[in-house]
Amino acid sequence: MHTIEKETNEMIVQMVRGFAEVHIEPYRKEWDDQQIFPVSVFKELGKLGLLGVLVPETYGGSGFSYHEYVTAIAELAKFDPGIALSMAAHNSLCTGHILQFGSEEQKQNWLPKLASGEWIGAWGLTEPNTGSDAGNMKTIAKEDGDYWVLNGAKNFITHGKSGNLAVVIARTGEPGTSNNATAFVIEKGTNGFYSGRKEDKLGMRSSETTELIFDNCMVHKSNILGKVGEGFKQSLKVLDGGRISIAALGLGISMGALEHAIEYSKERHQFGKPISSFQGISFKLAEMATKVEAAKLLTYNAADLKNKGKNVTKESAMAKYYTSETAVWVANEAVQIFGGYGFTKDYPVEKYYRDSKLCTIGEGTSEIQKIVISRNLLK
């Protein structure tokens, strides 16, 4: 990383930390216990430029690169992984899809609202019966004059209720055929477009996850991103970048859990000395730190390739797979180091432990990442 980038990254770390200490840390437990998505606080992130990190300044964004993006997500995840997940989904999926595949007019229309935080974005691919098997989705769009009529449902949608706009992938061709899906931008308030049940989750509870329902929802053809039939291929490209953001999320959780574990091991005394002086604990910390460093290198390597406009399918899958599994492992070890206190809500490590699991599932499970990696190796 160049000196200028390092300085920018350090500036982002200080900015996120300053914001989170005041606006997130004091309320983290309440949001987690009551499963509150703090819309007003989230919109404040927009004023800091964190809801349009990769969006060029022409469209009201920050115009940063993937390095700064990874840094911002990771730092935010140390304070509340749920808020970091929401920030990542808003940037990478919804805003990212419009940025990559929208026409000039569509970008001018929607990106300034999303980048500023005036509007919150959602992205709909997953369905109740098609998670990893997204090619066989049941949400169908049929052409009707200047409109397309959507019917079906999406689930596990971040900001499905609070979002002002959603990019939705619906099937416009026969199941099992190529080019059979299309991406539509649908604004809140469109007839036949509703949010459904809110999920009650193990972790990431401050990030809202709901269903989206389409009941003869009429969307004008001017709201199609790219061409009819390109939706699924677009989604795969969007997910390439999205996987880097989930890697950054896992990285932040790992870093946070490690920092708390180191601090606690120095403060906690047993048998007359700090537990960090026992090899059983110090070796745990050494292994945790090594894995966190490896996760960091994989994540920033994928970010670097993405910045250079190179193909990142394999590298982003590797970063996402390794970093998310590392997050679960490091959080587990942190709970162990805290002992009985690690099992209580008085200390932050139990939350890292619950939140980390989503990283191995969202935006392609660890098993799907292995398929992506192996296919690229065996080409």
Does residue 254 register a pLDDT over 90?
yes
pLDDT top residue among 11 and 133: 11
pLDDT tens digits along 284-335: 999 999 999 999 999 999 999 999 999 999 999 999 999 999 999 999 999 9
Per-residue pLDDT, 47: 96
Our CA angle for 245, 250, 251, nearest 5°, is: 90
pLDDT band at 5 (very low <50, low <70, confident <90, very high): confident
Residues ≥6 apart with Cβ < 8 Å to 264: 337, 338, 341, 347
C-alpha 364/C-alpha 113 separation (Å) is: 28
**Catalytic center residues:** 363
pLDDT tens digits along 53-111: 999 999 999 999 999 999 999 999 999 999 999 999 999 999 999 999 999 999 999 99
Q: What does pLDDT average to over the chain?
A: 97
Token pair belonging to 12? 């982002």
Radius of gyration of the chain (CA): 21
| CB of 39 closer than 8 Å to CB of 46 | no
Supply the angle between the helices 231-267 and 313-338 in degrees, to the nearest 10.
Answer: 30
Of residues 297, 300, 288, 299, the one with CA closest to residue 259: 288
pTM tops 0.95, yes or no: yes
Of residues 99, 97, 91, the one with CA closest to residue 69: 91
Does residue 129 register a pLDDT over 80?
yes
Q: How many CA atoms within 13 Å lie on the side-chain side of 29?
A: 8
pLDDT tens digits along 10-42: 999 999 999 999 999 999 999 999 999 999 999
Per-residue pLDDT, 133: 84
Per-residue pLDDT, 175: 83
Per-residue pLDDT, 1: 60
Residues ≥6 apart with Cβ < 8 Å to 295: 247, 250, 251, 254, 319, 322, 323, 326, 327
Of residues 296, 312, 313, 260, the one with CA closest to residue 71: 296
| CB of 247 closer than 8 Å to CB of 324 | yes
pLDDT tens digits along 43-68: 999 999 999 999 999 999 999 999 99
Q: Give the strand pairing for 209-220 and 193-198.
A: antiparallel
pLDDT tens digits along 143-173: 999 999 999 999 999 999 999 999 999 999 9
C-alpha 107/C-alpha 77 separation (Å) is: 29
